[in-house]
């Protein structure tokens, strides 16, 4: 069906299933994705689902629609839902001090800690370093032990000042769930979400995932032309579970969870899982985002929000060790699409499948991602030059003898351990204090926005932070 035709008439259920049958296997192969699975929800029902490729290049086991993949940071929406259930039960106030619920919490800046609220955590505006991946073991106390390690957690900016994607914040939210429910996070998730929704393949850990056909992640080998290799580790640590380190399921399971949100918090059997007010609050704009590549226009409570001429698209993506997950929802149309993958050109496959089906099923066209201007404006780049660092990357911005601007990103900690390679971006001016990579990386032209001011050695103003979805502080 052409784009013109799709804008006039949405695909019906049979047409969605037929399109997937005719195209999904081919698209997965063309994008070099080892394995993937997709499902489409419309009118309260899954109207199409497909699997293609293999769960692992090492075993050759085929992916089918019952294969479980890790959903990565889409787990944050499950955690947010558990938190909002606490609000519904009168156990939690999103605007009360965080220390009321976690009095034992000690971080690097206790003055900031006294200001922090659960709302700051849910909206990625807490301001502290957000990529702490300390492994505290596999026991039921893994999250509790993780929180106890945060005594020197750096505060990058004041709570509420700006958005900076924050995994650590969601582990703290998971700990709140544990404290107020009196059970480990995994048990609460199954008891209060998976079981009431009748989702049988939701797997909070590898011990549950192994009971099903489970996908393994794939990462690039060393060298520019290296082929994909199976990841040496299946999942990240249990201590980061509330942020998305290991939860796995099928796309159909994920859409079963989404259906509850589309049905104002009601499970298929009529059970009230979440209040309608909490469903709406989660999808309500809380904070606007700076210009970023591949990310939304705003954030709600947990949810990422994209503006489109046809209405708000509610979303979240996830990435773990060699696996990537994509979820897009159009509440006004009652349409949702989940795509789960295990390596390769996942963003290309997302465009081929999810972006196409959003247009053809819901009539929604996502805004184009930023691209380099044809004639880039020349600007004074001196305020951007220098070194920036956080726990997962060392970043340096430099200018060569020909005037070209370069950003070098060196992975460290968990990103280095899972085999991520250094990347060099050539940058040009996009607008304001935002620069964009000339060449795409994994299908995206990456936007780097420079924020704040600190004095340079010559008295000139220099950027305090570089922002690419996460705020990274200047280190020189």
The residues annotated as belonging to the active site are: 73
- Report yes or no: 411 and 421 within 8 Å, Cβ to Cβ: yes
Reference 364, options 325, 327, 333; nearest CA is: 333
- What is the pairing mode between strands 248-249 and 218-220? unpaired
Q: Which residues of 122-157 are buried (b: 16+ CB within 10 A; e: fewer)?
A: bbbbbbbbbbbbbebeeeeebbbebbeebeebebbb
Strands 471-474 and 386-389, bridge-based pairing: antiparallel
User: From CA 198, how far away is CA 39, in angstroms rounded?
Assistant: 17
Tally Cβ neighbours within 10 Å of residue 354: 20
Structure tokens at 400: 């060569």
Nearest alpha carbon to residue 98 among 20, 180, 18, 187: 180
């Amino acid at each position: 069906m052409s784009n013109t035709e799709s804008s006039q008439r949405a695909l019906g259920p049979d047409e969605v299933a037929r399109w997937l049958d005719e195209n999904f296997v081919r698209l997965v192969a063309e994008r070099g994705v080892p394995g993937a699975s997709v499902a489409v929800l419309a009118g309260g029902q899954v109207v199409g689902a497909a699997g293609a490729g293999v769960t692992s290049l090492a075993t050759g086991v085929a992916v089918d629609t019952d294969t479980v993949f890790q959903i990565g940071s889409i787990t944050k929406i499950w955690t947010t839902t558990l938190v909002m259930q606490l609000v519904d039960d009168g156990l939690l106030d999103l605007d009360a001090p965080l220390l009321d619920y976690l009095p034992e919490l000690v971080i690097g800046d206790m003055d900031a800690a006294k200001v922090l609220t659960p709302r700051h955590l849910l909206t990625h505006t807490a301001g502290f370093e957000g990529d702490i991946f300390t492994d505290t073991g596999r026991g039921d106390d893994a999250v509790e032990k993780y929180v106890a390690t945060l005594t020197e957690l750096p505060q990058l900016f004041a709570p509420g000042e700006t958005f900076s994607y924050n995994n650590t914040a969601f582990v703290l939210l998971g700990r709140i769930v544990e404290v107020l429910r009196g059970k480990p996070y995994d048990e609460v998730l199954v008891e209060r979400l998976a079981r009431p929704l009748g989702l049988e393949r939701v797997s909070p850990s590898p011990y549950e995932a192994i009971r099903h056909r489970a996908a393994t992640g794939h990462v690039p080998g060393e060298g520019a032309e290296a082929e994909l290799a199976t990841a040496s580790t299946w999942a990240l640590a249990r201590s980061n579970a509330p942020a998305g380190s290991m939860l796995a399921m099928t796309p159909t399971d994920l859409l079963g969870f989404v259906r509850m949100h589309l049905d104002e918090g009601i499970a298929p059997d009529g059970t009230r899982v979440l209040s309608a007010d909490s469903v709406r609050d989660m999808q309500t704009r809380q904070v606007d985002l700076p210009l970023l590549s591949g990310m939304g226009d705003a954030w709600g409570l947990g949810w990422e929000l994209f503006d489109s001429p046809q209405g708000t698209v509610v979303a979240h993506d996830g990435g773990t060790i060699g696996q990537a997950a994509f979820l897009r929802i159009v509440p006004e149309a009652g349409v949702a699409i989940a795509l789960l993958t295990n390596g390769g050109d996942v963003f290309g496959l997302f465009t081929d499948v999810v972006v196409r089906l959003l247009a053809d099923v819901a009539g929604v066209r996502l805004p184009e991602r930023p691209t380099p201007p044809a004639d880039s404006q020349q600007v004074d780049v001196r305020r951007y030059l220098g070194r920036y660092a956080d726990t997962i990357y060392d970043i340096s911005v430099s200018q060569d003898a020909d005037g070209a601007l370069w950003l070098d990103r060196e992975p460290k900690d968990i990103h280095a351990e899972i085999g991520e390679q250094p990347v060099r971006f050539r940058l040009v001016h996009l607008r304001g204090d935002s620069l964009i990579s000339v060449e795409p990386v994994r299908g995206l032209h990456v936007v780097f926005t420079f924020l704040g001011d600190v004095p340079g050695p010559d008295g000139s103003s220099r950027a305090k932070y570089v922002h690419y979805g996460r705020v990274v502080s200047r280190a020189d």
